[in-house]
Amino acid sequence: MLDNMLDTIFIITATIILISALLTITAHNVVHALLYLVITMLAVSLVFFILGASFAAALQIIVYAGAVMVLFIFVTMMLHQGEKSLAQERHLFHFSTSITALLLSSLLFFELIFMLFFTSADTEKSTVTAPSSAFITVKQIGVQLYGPYSLLVVISALMLLSALITAIHISKSPATIEIKTKGHNL
């Protein structure tokens, strides 16, 4: 019963993810796209939840739907010019220009599907029919992170630092203050 319900919730969530993702990439208005993206992010976090990764789900909401989206929206606010940029976008993206892209990506999609369902049954063997019911706690993750994966933390820190410096440097050239603030936002 519970399984059935979980399946149903998963299917609904997945459908929401796919539909909103499609809407995201086909929207002409950046703001709309961003809103769809937020929906996608939230749905993904739900999937995480279903998969038992509650910490990840929380992070997903905080970082993606929170910080990253805010960044996007800031930039959009700076660049968006209302109807003009909408018209521009309509010119840049419409169905006829994306036929090739559609073709290629659907080819890839069918290949992947084929590989997923019709090639060898390794997936069935390796997966556990009944996964461990134990939820992974934040503490476990923390122990892992500052234990065997401490190098990863350092690398992430360096990566963030370099991204910070790069972002400052790139947006600095016309020497305006707002760019500097943008760097701090990170």
Partner 1 sequence: MTQYSSLLALIPLLPLFSALILLFSNLPKLGVSILAVGSVAGVAFISLFLNFIFWQQSDFILTASLGTWINIAQLKISFGLYLDPLSLVMITIVSGVGALIHLYSIGFMYQENDFKRYFTYLNLFVSAMLFLVLADNLLLLYLGWEGVGLCSYLLIGFWYQDRNNNLAANKAFLMTRIGDTAMAIGLFLLFTQLGTLDIQEIQIKAHSVWSLNNDNNTMASICCLLLLGGAVGKSAQLPLQNWLPDAMAGPTPVSALIHAATMVTAGIYLIARNSQLFQLAPDVLYLVALIGTFTLLLGASAAMVQTDLKRILAYSTISQLGYMFLALGVGAGASAVFHLMTHAFFKALLFLSAGALIYSLHHEHNIFKMGGLLKKLPVVAMSFAIGCAALASLPFTSGFVSKELILAQVVASGHTGLWWAAVLGAFITAFYSARLFFVVFLGQTQLSPNAMPTKSMSLALVILGVLSLFGGIQPEGLKALMPQLNTEGLSTLQHWLPIILPFIAISFAWWLFKTKRFGKPIVSSFLQAIHQLLKSGWAFDHIYQTIFVFPLNTLCQLNKDDLIDSFYRLIERTSCTLHRTFSQFQNGQLRSYNASLIIFCILAFAWFISGELIL
Partner 2 sequence: MIPISWVLFLSLSLFTIGIFGVLARRNLLFILISLELMLNAVVIVFIAASRYHSASMANSDGQIMYLLVLTLAASEIAVGLSLVIHMYRQHHHLDIDKLNKLRD
- The site partner of 81 among partner 1, partner 2, none (C-beta below 5 to 8 Å per kind) is none
Report, in Å, the least distance between residue 177 CB and partner 2. Answer: 14
Residue 170 touches partner 1, criterion: CB under 8 A: no
Restricting to residues 96-155, which ones interact with partner 2 according to CB under 8 A?
Answer: 97-98, 100-102, 104-106, 108-109, 112-113, 116-117, 123, 126-132, 134-136, 140-141, 144-145, 149, 152, 155
Binding partner 2 by CB under 8 A: which of 12, 25, 87, 154? 25
Say which residue the tokens 């939230």 belong to: 42
Three-class DSSP category at 32: helix
Contact 38, 63 (CB under 8 A): no
Residue 133 touches partner 1, criterion: CB under 8 A: no
| Pair of tokens at residue 173 | 């050239």
Q: How far is CA 122 from CA 119, 130, 132, in A?
A: 9, 17, 20
Report, in Å, the least distance between residue 104 CB and partner 1. Answer: 5
Q: Which is nearer to partner 2, 156 or 177 (CB)?
A: 156
Contact 37, 64 (CB under 8 A): no
Q: Which is nearer to partner 1, 107 or 157 (CB)?
A: 107
Binding partner 2 by CB under 8 A: which of 12, 51, 77, 154? 51
Part in contact with partner 1 (CB under 8 A); list of ranges 67-75, 101-109, 142-150, 152-160? 101-109
Residue 56, classified by CB atoms within 10 Å of its CB into exposed (0-12), middle (13-18) or buried (19+), is: middle
| Pair of tokens at residue 135 | 């939820």
For residue 97, give the DSSP letter. Answer: G
Report, in Å, the least distance between residue 111 CB and partner 1. Answer: 4
- The site partner of 53 among partner 1, partner 2, none (C-beta below 5 to 8 Å per kind) is partner 2
Angle, helices 30-50/69-79, rounded to nearest 10 degrees: 180
Task: State the Cα–Cα distance between residues 28 and 17, nearest whole angstrom.
Answer: 19
Binding partner 1 by CB under 8 A: which of 70, 112, 164, 165? 112
Task: State the Cα–Cα distance between residues 41 and 47, nearest whole angstrom.
Answer: 10
